[in-house]
Amino acid sequence: MSEPGGAAGLPGSDHRRGGRVTLVGGGPGAVDLLTLRAWRALQSADVVVADRLGAVGVLDDLPATTDVVHVGKTSGNHPVPQEEINRILVARARAGAHVVRLKGGDPFLFGRGGEELIACREAGIEVEVVPGVTSAVSVPELAGIPVTHRGTAHGVHITSGHGGLDDAAVAVVRENTATLVILMGVSSLSTIAQQALRAGTDPATPVAIVENGSTPAQRVTRTRLDEAAAAAAAEGVAAPAVIVIGGVAADGLLGSVRDGRLAGAGV
Amino acid sequence: MPENPAAPGAPYPLGLRVTGRLVVVVGGGPVAARRARGLADAGARVRVVAPEVCEELAAAGEVEWIRREYRTGDLDEAWLAHTATGDPSVDRQVADDAEALRIFCVTAGDAEAATAWTPAVARVRLDSPGPPDPGDAGGRSGQTGEEIIVSVHAGGDPRRARAIRSEVQAQLESGTLPIRRVRPRPGADRTAQPATSSGPAVRDHGWVALVGGGPGDPGLISVRGRSLVARADVVVADRLGPRSLLDELAPDVQVVEVGKTAGNHPVPQDEINRILVQHAMAGRNVVRLKGGDPYVFGRGGEELAVCRDAGIETEVVPGVTSAVSVPAAVGIPVTHRGVARGFSVLTGHDALQDARRAEAGDAAAGHAVSVTGGSDHTLILLMGVSRLAETAAALTTPERPAGTPVAVVEDGYGPRRRVTVGTLADIAERAAAAGVRPPAVVVVGDVVRLAPAWRDHPAG
């Protein structure tokens, strides 16, 4: 039997019990890559709990009555600890508010959305999850890099680069039949490249690093595995960035025309 | 619906082309700043007269600031005046001077004295798909786009006007209003654009947008994607994705079905490519609406390359991938702190191939992603239902034992949503017993234990 577990109830399903939480994937950053459901949830929210990443531009357009709580890391400030975020979600919902937790990308991809979902559920709070456009796929995509492509990559492996790669990720990059996409990997790039090379990966394997994907500040650095760390240092590559390793990262795969569309276009 | 005649004394709506013309704004507060910015954005020469200005206005470089109190004579040469000083006597003086000069004056906070009103405005730029103008640092060029503007005046209640404006704005942006162009753009082929330097013929073509429609729920398409669907002359659709959007299209929008339906073979990829190019070459705007994301097994890259080779303006709009969102629909996060830090997305076919080659002693295949890794490494198989038994057997390795949890999720965002859970050992049997049918997403790994459905599972 099916058991949706309250993870994805229908929009506006139940106001009678008062407070509720909607975990919203805000996509890679461009406001018009929010989903319609995300958009509607934000418009009807009493409280929006927001990170530094994702479609933060939408916060400017919220009704003046919406209470925006920033919990992301900003320069000079520590981020709010996860337990505290969970506590804010539960407390505000218990007080009767419709709380939208706006996250970058998809709430379940390294976004610790699962923990927030569980914390709310355990507190008996109604939770709805609105999946988002994940940065792992869309950021390369908008830079002209398809994460799967017939004849080049028959699969994609997506991982966090924090602290280097695990065995599965190393295997993917060595085999080079699937694309490896690394989120949060900029600071570990040197370690990652060394791990891959030590495992016997072709040093000429293409690497692309996309910073500020989907926004007007987007920048793509194309390099190869054995030169990636040096290239990133020379270019001053900084987080947030998505790293793509594999044949699809080669320049010119989809032709020579400039790629992408830029943020906020039209909306 | 017939238009209602205006009531006597009601404002007469009018659009002003202020480019290069002098507009005088009297006052330096937030209201004046907002007006000054709006006028400057529209290309006006803006002169602010105020002894002090707020931070926002001081930072506006394109605005000329006369740093003193208002004097009669300041409106000379102006085409329009705005006054928002917060001092009724000054505002009245400005209004009187404007009246004497026969120019219109917007008076903040005094509707009686005002000869002009600024409506609440909803505006949406409808940019052509395609790469941004190289000469434009901030994205698409203003010249390539076109704008729809809706002005709202709500009986002298600015808050009500703003509320209506916001709702109209949201609907314009999300493509739920009929925004498709009916008449050709005036002077479209005369507009020389750096972005189209590949040849003037480009202007005669329509565009092609590859739009990721998400997992099926019409609310899970992006705002950008929805807006482009609303503007399309032709929609080329799969069997997957937000099919209900097709029902909302205008009757003269052509829908081309290219997906596999019961009893029908799908249209071959080459034929799909040909359809896209043909319609665009004939001047029609085309949306290729796909399930999930265009680049996650969507063959979007091939379609894009073909359109570009034909010189057609293209855009790819990312979608919510089913690989992540469908498991999420039944409470399975594909990554979870302490449970899984990475996941692989494969087709069921490829997973099976890898495993077979590994079994046959192919050393390279032995390292393939479907074969490597333990139950902490999440595998997502798309199109993996039809040969589930073989695939599950092939995926069973010493690191990923037969007891590894598996979930099969059907129709993640539709009325038939259902999750069937089991282990690599018994999932095929359970799926068969439940009558599981494609399309479905298969999840292999420890993250399945987080699903509420796992709790009811005998092994759970």
Q: Which residues pair with B104 in a beta bridge?
A: B80
pLDDT band at B455 (very low <50, low <70, confident <90, very high): confident
Element (H, E) at A48: strand A47-50
Residue linked to tokens 């314009």: B172
The topology (CATH level 3) of A136-258 is: 3.30.950
User: What pLDDT was estimated at residue B375?
Assistant: 85
Q: Is A220 on the interface with B (CB under 8 A)?
A: no
User: What pLDDT was estimated at residue B203?
Assistant: 53
Nearest CA among A133, A134, A176, A182 for reference residue A155: A176
| Active-site option among A46, A184, A202, A259 | A184
User: What pLDDT was estimated at residue B239?
Assistant: 87
| Active-site option among A14, A61, A67, A73 | A73
Q: Is A169 on the interface with B (CB under 8 A)?
A: yes
User: What pLDDT was estimated at residue A74?
Assistant: 62
Give dist(CA B150, CA B76) in Å, integer: 31
Name the minimum distance, in Å, from the CA of A20 to any CA of chain B. 17
pLDDT tens readout for residues B68-94? 999 999 999 999 999 999 999 999 999
Nearest residue, CB atoms, B301 vs list A31, A149, A158: A149
pLDDT tens readout for residues B150-172? 988 887 787 888 888 878 887 88
User: What pLDDT was estimated at residue A11?
Assistant: 41
Decide if B127 and A266 are in contact by the 8 Å CB cutoff. Answer: yes
* Catalytic-residue membership of A103: no
pLDDT band at B413 (very low <50, low <70, confident <90, very high): very high
> B133 or B346: which carries more pLDDT confidence?
B346
Give dist(CA A39, CA A30) in Å, integer: 13
Task: Please determine whether the domains at A20-133 and A136-258 fall in the same fold group of CATH.
Answer: no
> Does the pLDDT at position B31 exceed 70?
yes
Mean pLDDT of B22-29: 95
Name the minimum distance, in Å, from the CA of A182 to any CA of chain B. 9
User: What pLDDT was estimated at residue B369?
Assistant: 58
Q: SS3 sequence, chain B?
A: CCCCCCCCCCCCCCCCCCCCCEEEEECCCHHHHHHHHHHHHCCCEEEEECCCCCHHHHCCCCCEEECCCCCCCCCCCCCEEEECCCCHHHHHHHHHHHHHHCCEEEECCCCCCCCECCCEEEEEEECCCCCCCCCCCCCCCCCCCEEEEEEECCCCCHHHHHHHHHHHHHHHHCCCCCCCCCCCCCCHHHCCCHHHCCCHHHHHCCCEEEEECECCCHHHCEHHHHHHHHHCCEEEECCCCCCHHHHCCCCCCEEEECCCCCCCCCCCHHHHHHHHHHHHHCCCCEEEEECECCCCCCCHHHHHHHHHHCCCCEEEECCCCHHHHHHHHCCCCCCECCCECEEEEEEHHHHHHHHHHHHCCCCCHHHCCCCCCCCCCEEEEECCCCCHHHHHHHHCCCCCCCCCEEEEEECCCCCCCEEEEEECCCHHHHHHHHCCCCCEEEEECHHHHHCHHHHCCCCC
Chain A residues whose beta carbon lies within 8 Å of the beta carbon of residue B131: 257-261
Give the mean pLDDT per block of 10 residues along chain A (267 residues): 39 57 94 92 93 85 87 72 94 96 90 87 93 96 92 90 89 88 95 96 96 91 97 95 95 58 34
* Catalytic-residue membership of B290: no
Contacts for B128 with CB less than 8 Å, ≥ 6 apart: B140, B144, B145, B207, B313
Chain B residues whose beta carbon lies within 8 Å of the beta carbon of residue A265: 125, 127, 132, 139-140, 145, 224
Element (H, E) at A228: helix A228-235
Q: Which residues pair with A242 in a beta bridge?
A: A183, A210
Give dist(CA B200, CA B193) in Å, integer: 9
Q: Other C-beta atoms within 10 Å of B258: how many?
A: 18
- CATH class for the domain made up of A20-133: alpha beta
Pairing of strands B80-83, B22-26: parallel
pLDDT tens readout for residues B43-71? 999 999 999 988 878 777 788 999 999 99
pTM: 0.79
pLDDT band at B288 (very low <50, low <70, confident <90, very high): very high
Decide if A3 and B456 are in contact by the 8 Å CB cutoff. Answer: yes
Per-domain residue ranges of chain A: 20-133, 136-258
pLDDT, averaged across chain B: 84
> Does the pLDDT at position B10 exceed 80?
no
With pLDDT > 90 as the criterion, what percentage of chain B qualifies? 50
The ipTM (two decimal places) reads: 0.88
Nearest residue, CB atoms, A131 vs list B304, B320, B336: B320
